[in-house]
Amino acid sequence: MSAGPLDGITVVELGGFIAGPFAGQLLGDYGARVIKIEPPAGDPMRRWGVLHEGRSLWWPAIARNKESVVLDLKSESDRALARSLVTSADVVLENFAPGRMAEWGLDYASVVADNPGLIMVHVSGFGQDGPRSHDRGFGSVAEAMGGLRALMGFPDRPPVRAGISLGDELAAMFAVIGTLAAINERHRTGRGQEVDVGLYESVFALTESLLPDWEIGGVTRGRAGSTLPGVAPSNVYRTHDGIEVLIAANADAIFQRLCRAMGRPDLATDERYATHEARGQHADELDRLVQQWTAGLSAAALEAVLDEHEIPRGRIYTPADIVTDEQYAARGMVTRLEAAGYPQPVPMPSVVPKFTGTPGSIRRPGPELGEHTERVRQEFATPE
């Protein structure tokens, strides 16, 4: 088993819920040693989401590859051990409200003299400064203020959310990107730095041309249901046997191939559909034509003809589809781990991305609360 591209990097993770822990999961996937400091009650993620006998079915994945150390940071002796960990680490990853680390004497300014190479990654709702920096900010709030929720759903209904915690997970990914960039900079200078990730900023960073569309183009983008305005045909279509298939044929060459697949080559030269702009203007009627065609085919027949004509497509997958899909299997994208307290191996997404030289790995599932406390105490205890 490869040690991973971050082998030799030690990360101390403080904080709970999703954004910080998911960043810690990713760093651990890439080979870092992740020491997770938990309060005596444990990370709330241990009891989050769907439970089996009181245990989160997410915990084995989001805490995989981590060591659990229980510390009461209200205790002077436990704060001393936490400081020893922080001053020995390469990276400290925290997602408390700004100012909390300073209350414990664990903020960057308090520890950098003892660890000049330390990279301290902050994940918070609104960042470390500004008028709302001390406000509580969950991923859902970030999705609202980052501009995402205004774009999600149908125009005649209130905004909707995705069925996952996008705001938190985007912030986690930017935290990992920032960590890797800071590690690279440390190779050049020998010095660490702070990395400041705001949840709402992480969402806003993905809004593409939202601002210039409004400020220069005079267009306020809004909710458009299952389509992207001006991009057609690119939608979900139902087959004769009730399967929903997404077909993305909006590029000119691909649309021409779709027309041949449909037995309607005339559509490719019809002025209503011949160009990308024209198709965007007539998206609704074009969708109706594609839907009429797919409704006459089984899903298997539709996929066969789309593949024959090299047209991008994919079924709307459920978990049952994922675990039986040949592409997922060929890429090893589902890992199952034995974990204490669970009746069977727990399935979870495998490591992304894949490295050819030093692949990441899932070495163990999320730990029991405090499983590594004594070992870490012995390793990092400050001599009397």
Tokens of residue 303, six digits:
């996929």
Helix (H) or strand (E) holding 301: helix 299-308
- Which residue is associated with the tokens 């539709």? 302
Position 226 in a domain: no
Q: Measured between alpha carbons, how far is 329 from 243 in angstroms, rounded to an integer? A: 22
Number of domains in the chain: 2
Parent domain of 278:
234-317
Residues 82 and 109 in one domain: yes
Position 202 in a domain: yes
Nearest to 126 by CA among 149, 105, 159, 99: 99
Given 317, 345, 366, the domain boundary residue is: 317
Residues 263 and 174 in one domain: no
Nearest to 197 by CA among 167, 218, 242, 221: 167
- Which residue is associated with the tokens 């709330």? 44
Ranges of H-type helices in 7-145: 19-29, 59-62, 76-86, 100-103, 108-111, 139-145
User: Which pLDDT score is estimated for 267?
Assistant: 98
Q: In Å, how far from its chain's centre is CA 86?
A: 26
Position 242 in a domain: yes
**Burial 73-94, CB ≥16 within 10 A → b, else e:** beeeebbebbbbbbbebbbbbb
User: Which pLDDT score is estimated for 381?
Assistant: 84
The CATH number of the domain holding residue 148 is 3.40.50.10540
Segment 5-10 shows an average pLDDT of: 98
Residues 121 and 259 in one domain: no
Helix (H) or strand (E) holding 66: strand 66-70
pLDDT tier at 179 (50, 70, 90 boundaries)? very high
pLDDT tens, position by position, 86-145: 999 999 999 999 999 999 999 999 999 999 999 999 999 999 999 999 998 899 999 999
Residues 32 and 130 in one domain: yes
Helix, coil or strand: residue 280: helix
pLDDT tier at 303 (50, 70, 90 boundaries)? very high
pLDDT tens, position by position, 26-75: 999 999 999 999 999 999 999 999 999 999 999 999 999 999 999 999 99
pLDDT over 90 (residue 12): yes
Residues 164 and 124 in one domain: yes
**Burial 164-176, CB ≥16 within 10 A → b, else e:** ebbbbbbbbbbbb
pLDDT over 60 (residue 198): yes
User: Which pLDDT score is estimated for 1?
Assistant: 60
Q: Measured between alpha carbons, how far is 156 from 164 in angstroms, rounded to an integer? A: 23
pLDDT over 90 (residue 384): no
Question: Could you say which DSSP state residue 303 is in?
Answer: H
270 catalytic, yes or no?
no
User: Which pLDDT score is estimated for 332?
Assistant: 98
**CB half-sphere exposure, 138, CA atoms < 13 A:** 4
Which position among 107, 168, 196, 287 bears the catalytic label? Answer: 168
pLDDT tens, position by position, 236-281: 999 999 999 999 999 999 999 999 999 999 999 999 999 999 999 9
User: Which pLDDT score is estimated for 50?
Assistant: 96
| pTM score of the predicted model | 0.95
